[in-house]
Each structure stands twice: as structure tokens, then as C-alpha cells.
Amino acid sequence: GLVKEHIDSFNYFITKGIKNIVRANNRIEARSDPGIYLEYKNIYIGEPSVQVDFRVETITPHFCRLTDRTYSAPVIVDVEYTVGKTHAKHRKPSFTIGYMPIMLRSYACVLNGKDEAELARYGECPLDPGGYFIVKGTEKVILIQEQLSKNRIIIDTDNKGRVTASVTSSTHEVKSKTVICMDKEKIYLHLNQFTKPIPIIVVMKAMGIETDQEVVQMVGRDPRYGDLLYLSIQECATERIYTQQQALQYMDDKVTYAGAGNIKDGRSKLILRDVFVAHVPVNNGNFQPKCIYTAVMLRRMLDAILNSDTFDDKDYVGNKRLELSGQLVSLLFEDLFKTMNTYAVDRMNKNSDMARSSPLDFSQLIMQQDVITSGLERAISTGNWDIKRFKMHRKGVSQVLSRLSYMASLGYMTRITPQFEKTRKTSGPRALQPSQWGMLCPCDTPEGEACGLTKNLALMTHVTTDQEEGPLRNLCFSLGVEDLSLLSGEEIHAPGSFLVMFNGLILGKHRQPQRFANNMRTFRRSGKIGEFVSVFVNEKQHCIHIASDGGRVCRPLIIADKGRSRVKEHHMKELRDGIRSFDDFLRDGLIEYLDVNEENNALVYLDSFVFSCMVHLYSDQVIKMIQTDCIV
């Protein structure tokens, strides 16, 4: 369906994403007595229901429209907690912490999997695609939000014309932005946790790379890199910083809030571990992966200084991600869940300070709150996503679903809203970008100040959702990727070998990049890995990018061997006879999805027979595509 990406995104959130959030924040403790705690063991979404006179009744979307109710389902957890000074353990299964609005046609919806007769009995139109919410009786759709990629290095210039390498890190534990900037031929780290920019060589020494030679080896062998790093190395020597301890002491003095962290461990070391490029993990105090990642950022930045063609284009579709309903509700739920836990801890501490207070347990405190229910309902109802924790302040995220016509309601589902101020008179983000070809509609955009900013997906475009990383990571190592932990600084950039980056993390390197990419594509075409996994060999950066994250735009293309289409006439006959479906074409390796980055490694051509095949495959959509001038 045309709203499949919305439903897939929400399904991923309620089945996997919500569990990951709770797993990352699964325990709360009283500050006065750590023995008093509550631990979340499991979380899941129940059936859509409402409480009426102390009774729980199942509800339908049509009932909510007629009675001005919110179509929501309970968020249920299994918890373990202790009570009183004895710390007696208790378990409470199926414990409701709030209600969450449910997307129509998602896994949690009563309409999921129903045929036309059952839908008619529920008062629903069989042609209604779903993908929206019902809040206080009003149909609300969360618009697709466009933003820069998370966990990706972006090389650009700031408003002062300085070359910068920035990365916005996003994990379930923390979200932060790291900027490395060249100012007056010296390179500095900019982080909000420090009062002043920190020389990058000091940062490398603080992470354990104490010799200047090793820093230069990590960046690369090209002597021009050494020349550009010379003043930064000299500045570090001028400050008399030679060891890791001296570097950490220098950074401790620049921390914004002196009371942050544990003084024994060092405040700056905690910041380097948890905030600086936060998506790169530090296991058992080993900063080597972060050092290598920083060196790659430096190398990319120095390459841009030496060759202006290597700058990243922020308007390039491959550098952007589309946030769907699932991701936006996930951010909101994560903030509300943490807020609920914080309130519970604060009230427990106040109760402990009172001499004659009766003993409380965390389950009572959580039960008394309405944080999750009211927070989710208010945000979707008003469209205001105000999340101070993640520095997100957006308006108009959700809008009333237009019912003027069937096409108008579908148009709302595929509309893309940018994070760019409409009042700014800048032509760059409004102009057509070559990478939008086949992915975004070049015609469907409003007039006036939003012209070129508000866009629509092409009807054959699919927006990906997150996939499990563990099996893919193991497959990469099985196909010959040399583990990063086994490599020295000089071996990383050995001639002929390419770095392998998986969702923004450096896995290691591979000596035969093209062979590795072909093997990964073979696995994808045979259905061994997800059909939306992207494999892109970047010759300029000597890097292989593997992506399985959500928010990438991709489209289906017919595979051609030596100029001949894999889709033959007998395949089309099987399709017409109902023997073969579109999923069969994917599973048999006749068609595959390519995102914008991987299209750079492919030759895409238009042919009358290929086009006629796509007409048969998407017979109900091609007419609409011709109307919107979108290219197959």
C-alpha cells in the first residue's frame, strides 16, 4: 500500500523499538537507599480499550470517531520492585503505566488482517489505507519529517566559512552533536560540555594516543596531512601536554559544569566516553574505536581542504533521513518514559526524607501518574513536539487528515515536511536535486513560501524502517572484514583496502571491496538478508557503506544481466495468472530495492519492455504516477 512505510514504522516501534527503550532504562533506584528499586522486565502494547465505570471495554476506530474518544491501547509492563527497609522483593505482571494512541491498520489495531466483510461490520471503508491516529475523535496524521542523517560524518563549512566535520550521534542512552572545526589552521573540538574549543591533538592524547606519530599514522600516510596537522601538534606541545593524564587535566579545567561526573574518574573522561561521538561504544575503557573514528573525521576534513569536490551536499537525498510516525512517537515515548521515572525517583526521595512517612514502593508512584497518556495525546492532538531532553522543538508535526477527496488523504500520507524555515529566502533547499530523480515527485509542491520545501514521495518509493544489526554485523565478518580492534593505526589506510562502515560505525577494513559488495548483494537478492539493506562502495572515500537503518528512501528496479532484463515474458504471465506476486519477484532476485547512495554504483536505464513489466507489477499505481509525472 501507499502508506506501508507509516504502518511498518509504527509496527517496528511497538514490537521492537519500545522494548529497546525500556531495556536501556530498565532500572530506577532511590538515591537515599539503592536497595529500594524498580526494574522493568518486559513491556508490550495491549488491545485498544477504554475504562468505563471500572470496566475495560474494547473499542473500534468508528466508535472513537462518533464519541470523540482517543483510539488508544494500554502500555503494559512486568515489573520487579522492593518495599520498605526490609527490601522484600515483589513481582507485578501486566501493570499498566499509560495509554498510547494506536495507528489504524497497525499490528495493535483491531482492523489488522480483517477482510472486507469484517471491515464493513466495524464501520470501516475497505479502501481506507490507515496510517493515521484518532485523538479525541479527530483523525490526525503525522507528517514525514526530513532531516540530516544521524551517526554520519558530514563535511561542510559553518557561517564563518570554516571547514567542519560534524556528526549527530543518536542512541537510546544519549543524543549529542560533535563538531570538529579548523580555525586559523588549527583543529579544535566543539562540544557543549566544554567552555572553550579543545585542541584535537589534546583530545586524541586524552583517549590514549600519546605520540604525535601515531595520530598522523591514523589519519593517513599522505605527507600533506602531516603539514596540515603541524600547527595543531605544535599547539599541544606549547601547552606542555605530552601524556594522557596531562590531557585529561587540561580538559577537566574546561568542563562547563564543574560538579558533573565522578571526580575520581575525571569529568572529561566521562564526557569523552558518553557524549563525544556517543554512538561509538567504549568497552572496558578501550577508546581505540573512538580514536580511529576521530581520525577518519580528520581525514575527511583534510581531504575537503585539499580538494573542494569532497565536501558533502546537505541537500543530497542520500545524506538525509525521513522520520516517520514510528520514529517520532518513539522519541516522544522515550522522553515521557524517562520523565515518569524521574518523577517517581524524586517523590520516593521526598518520602524517604520524611521521618514518619509510611513506606512507599515505586509501583504505587508510577500508577498514580498520567505522564505517558497525557503527553502522547497532547503532542499528537496539537502537533507540537517539544522535547527539551533531545532539544527538539517542532510545530505542525501532526495535522488533521484531509477528507476532501481520496487523493487528498493519500497526499497527506506521502507529504514530506522539512526542518527549514519557510521565511528564509534561500534557493538551495528549494531547487530540484539530481538525487531526487525517481524518489521524490518533481511537480507536487505548494506555491508560495513553502515552494520546493514541502515535497511528496514518488508513489513507488519506499521508506525503510530499522532492521536488526547483529546478524548483518556477523555476516560482514564472515565475508572477510578485518575487525577494527585487530588493526593498528597504519594498517587502517593500507593501499587497496577499504574501510567498512555499518550504520555509521566502523566495523573494520576489507582488502577486496568489490568482491565483498557483490557477495552482500547476492545474499540480498536471494532473501538471506533484508531486501532494504544498502551496500555502497565509495571510491573517493575508500569506504564501503552498509546501511540497514530507517528513514532511507529507496525504489524497486528490475535487475539486468549484460543488458538483458531478468524479468521474462513467462514471469509476467505467472503474474497475470495470479501464480506470482511482487514479493516473489524480490525473493527470486528479479527485482531489488536500491537507495540513493547505492544507485551511484548502478547503471539505471529506461526501456520499453522494462517499463511494460513495471506497468503490470504496479497496474493500480502507474496511472497515478503518470498524473504526478514521477519516473519509474
Contact 586, 571 (CB under 8 A): no
Tens digits of residue pLDDT in 396-439: 899 999 999 998 898 888 999 888 777 777 777 888 889 999 89
Tens digits of residue pLDDT in 306-323: 988 889 988 899 999 999
- Strand, helix or coil at 142? strand
- Cβ-proximal residues to 97 (8 Å cutoff; 6+ apart), any chain: 75, 76, 77, 340, 366, 367, 369, 372
Give the Å distances, CA to CA, from 14 to 9, 71, 102, 122, 399: 9, 15, 10, 23, 22
Where does residue 503 rank: exposed (0-12), middle (13-18), buried (19+ CB within 10 A)?
buried
- Strand, helix or coil at 77? strand
Sign of CA dihedral 372, 375, 376, 378: positive
List the one residue out of 21, 13, 40 whose CA is nearest residue 389: 21
- Cβ-proximal residues to 626 (8 Å cutoff; 6+ apart), any chain: none
DSSP codes joined into one string, 103-121:
-TTSTTSTTTT--HHHHHH
Is the pLDDT at 157 greater than 80, yes or no?
yes
pLDDT of amino acid 101: 96
- Strand, helix or coil at 630? coil
- Rounded Cα gap, residues 534 and 595, in angstroms: 7
Conformation bin of residue 487: beta by default, left when phi > 0, alpha when psi is -120 to 50: beta
Helix (H) or strand (E) run with residue 591 in it: strand 591-595
- Rounded Cα gap, residues 400 and 381, in angstroms: 9
Residue in this structure with the C-alpha cell 477527496, named with its chain if needed: 405
pLDDT, averaged across the chain: 86
360 — pLDDT class (breaks 50, 70, 90): low
Alpha helical stretches, state H, 70-181: 116-121
Report the pLDDT averaged over residues 44-54.
Answer: 87
- Rounded Cα gap, residues 170 and 494, in angstroms: 30
Sign of CA dihedral 114, 115, 120, 125: positive
List the one residue out of 310, 309, 289 whose CA is nearest residue 299: 310
Alpha helical stretches, state H, 89-166: 116-121
* DSSP for residue 286: B
624 — pLDDT class (breaks 50, 70, 90): very low
Tens digits of residue pLDDT in 243-284: 999 999 999 888 886 544 445 457 888 899 989 999 999 888
CATH class entry, domain 154-278: alpha beta
Is the pLDDT at 623 greater than 50, yes or no?
no
**Phi then psi dihedrals of residue 484, to 5 deg:** -60, -35
pLDDT of amino acid 358: 63
Give the Å distances, CA to CA, from 433 to 31, 153, 187, 316, 544: 54, 21, 32, 7, 24
Q: Which amino acid is at 300?
A: R
DSSP codes joined into one string, 292-342:
HHHHHHHHHHHHHHH-GGGPPPTT-GGGEEEE-HHHHHHHHHHHHHHHHHH
Residue with more model confidence, 158 or 367? 158
470-627: same fold as 154-278?
no
Q: What is the CATH number of domain 470-627?
A: 3.90.1070.20
618 — pLDDT class (breaks 50, 70, 90): very low
pLDDT of amino acid 45: 95
Residues, the chain, total?
632
Is the pLDDT at 167 greater than 70, yes or no?
yes
Measured in whole angstroms, how far is the alpha carbon of residue 598 from the centre of its chain? 19
Is the pLDDT at 225 greater than 50, yes or no?
yes
Tens digits of residue pLDDT in 519-574: 999 999 998 999 999 999 999 889 999 999 999 999 999 888 877 888 899 999 99
Give the Å distances, CA to CA, from 246 to 142, 207, 236, 243, 254: 50, 11, 11, 5, 13
pLDDT of amino acid 609: 55
Is the pLDDT at 357 greater than 80, yes or no?
no
pLDDT of amino acid 625: 31
- Cβ-proximal residues to 529 (8 Å cutoff; 6+ apart), any chain: 471, 472, 475, 520, 523
610 — pLDDT class (breaks 50, 70, 90): low
Report the pLDDT averaged over residues 23-48.
Answer: 87
- Rounded Cα gap, residues 453 and 463, in angstroms: 18
Share of the chain above pLDDT 70, in %: 92
Is the pLDDT at 155 greater than 70, yes or no?
yes
List the one residue out of 217, 345, 626, 283 whose CA is nearest residue 460: 626
Contact 202, 239 (CB under 8 A): yes
End-to-end CA, the chain: 17
- Rounded Cα gap, residues 148 and 166, in angstroms: 11
pTM of the model: 0.86
Instruction: Provide the residue ranges of all domains of the chain, joining segments of one domain with +.
Output: 4-145+327-406, 154-278, 470-627
Tens digits of residue pLDDT in 370-379: 899 999 999 9
Give the Å distances, CA to CA, from 176 to 151, 168, 277, 439, 580: 10, 6, 7, 30, 47
Contact 139, 133 (CB under 8 A): yes
DSSP codes joined into one string, 531-567:
TT-EEEEETTTTEEEEE--TT-EEEEEE-EETTEES-
62 — pLDDT class (breaks 50, 70, 90): very high
Sign of CA dihedral 27, 31, 33, 34: positive
pLDDT of amino acid 390: 80
Contact 350, 403 (CB under 8 A): no
Q: What is the dihedral of CA 447, 452, 457, 459, to 10 degrees?
A: 60
- Rounded Cα gap, residues 165 and 184, in angstroms: 16
Give the Å distances, CA to CA, from 68 to 210, 371, 597: 65, 21, 45
Q: Which amino acid is at 598?
A: E
pLDDT of amino acid 359: 64
Residue with more model confidence, 515 or 87? 515
List the one residue out of 255, 238, 258, 239 whose CA is nearest residue 247: 239
- Strand, helix or coil at 626? helix
